[in-house]
Structure 1
Amino acid sequence: MGIEIRPADVYADVRAVIGPKRPESNVCFCLSYRIGSAENTRLREPERSERVRGLCAEDPPPGVLAYLDGEPVGWAAVHPRAGTSFARNRKIPHIDDLDVWSLWCFRVRPGHRGAGVVHALATGAVEFARANGAPAIEGYPVDNTGESVHQTMAYVGTRSVFERAGFSWAADTDSVLAGFRRVVMRLDLRGAP
């Protein structure tokens, strides 16, 4: 069976991929770009998990999950930019006033890396955004020109991942992650099949 992409509306599956491994641990839980900075700093477990549980119950849910043989193995955060901190980020420019969606985080569980999960997630995120009426979708990956990106900083994706999913370069940014400049990659979904 191949990789299947589904909306991230099952909290237990989201937790299995991006949640804390120990109940007392505080992890990003992909909230850093999704909620305000003050709330993100203040939230600790178990409130952090409850915040994510609430997002999973929203329409649309906070992203997509990759499943392999029914097991959740990957995550991608994708949501309307207006509902993220990218709406007010000074280092990542807005190309225009279109109500674009943002794709900003990938996570693949150990043991499943290198199996095409990130590429499936990128394509699935595009389809998810399209199905929810997005006119365009953007990502803000590092432009690493083929150089290795440390695993802890690879969560934003690489330019080549986005290019393979049909995105094109749209702008440079003032944001740097792991020594690599981030770029705005964009895919127009208006009139797309």
Structure 2
Amino acid sequence: MTLEVFPAAADRFDDVASLLAPKTPGAGACWCLSPRLASSELGALGTEGREARMRELCGEDPPPGLLAYLDSTPVGWCAVGPRGGMGRLTRSRTIQQLDELPVWSVICFVVKAGHRRRGVATRLLEEAVAFAGSHGAPAIEGYPIDAEGTRINTTLAFVGTTALFEKVGFERVAETKATSAGRTRWIMRRDLSAS
């Protein structure tokens, strides 16, 4: 079995949709737009508008994330991009901006059931680091939770865990005021200037 990772470009939108679309047609889904758009914008888009907006993002350079494939089947997603392009994150009162460095941010992971705990998220994060570096990012950040050695509900673990980020060379920089699954989220950063 081969695990491969590719940018979520326009020609891969159907694979993005297979991972991000709601399971029930017409139901609400974030489409990994929450950190990118103001709440009012996100609400105004509605379900179909969110899908269309993600399709547009997949046509941009850089695309909004990475896809993991196991033997040509999409099994994972990682949203990554310049923090400056993520309006809601940039304006966040709970996840503070540390400095003026034009960092990239990892904001979301989705791994299909049946493929979790098999290294998919780790591989996606490794590739996100390389992707950011190839686009000239001086550093990359994530905002994971400290699971404190316990299992976290998968719907609330979309931000990743500190253990995952530490495994890929990120360092804890600061606690945030944000939480997920009742756990504190951390700003974790990896310097790419030496890469």
**1:17 and 1:161 mapped to 2: Cα distance?**
21
- Which amino acid counterpart does residue 51 of structure 1 have in structure 2? R
Match of 2:65 among 63, 66, 86: 63
Deviation at 1:87, TM superposition (A): 1.1
Give every structure 1 segment of 4 or more consecutive aligned residues whose post-TM-superposition deviation is greater than 2 Å. 20-23
Task: Report the counterpart of residue 181 of structure 1 in structure 2.
Answer: 184
The 5 Å alignment of 1:151-162 reads 151-162=154-165
Q: Is the 8 A contact 1:23 1:45 kept in 2?
A: no
**1:34 and 1:124 mapped to 2: Cα distance?**
21
Does 2:150 match 1:141?
no
Identical pairs, percent = 48
Task: Report the counterpart of residue 81 of structure 1 in structure 2.
Answer: 83
Q: TM-score, normalised by structure 1?
A: 0.95
Q: TM-score, normalised by structure 2?
A: 0.95
Q: Any stretches of 5+ residues in structure 1 without a counterpart? A: none
RMSD (Å), alpha carbons: 1.1
- Which amino acid counterpart does residue 8 of structure 2 have in structure 1? A
Deviation at 1:108, TM superposition (A): 0.5
- Which amino acid counterpart does residue 150 of structure 1 have in structure 2? N
Task: Report the counterpart of residue 39 of structure 1 in structure 2.
Answer: 41
The total of aligned residue pairs comes to 192
**2:84 and 2:141 mapped to 1: Cα distance?**
12
Task: Report the counterpart of residue 8 of structure 1 in structure 2.
Answer: 8
- Which amino acid counterpart does residue 17 of structure 2 have in structure 1? R
SS at 2:155's partner residue? helix
Deviation at 1:2, TM superposition (A): 2.5
Deviation at 1:21, TM superposition (A): 2.8
**2:180 and 2:26 mapped to 1: Cα distance?**
28
Q: Deviations over 1:110-137 (max 9, x none)?
A: 1211211111111111111111111100
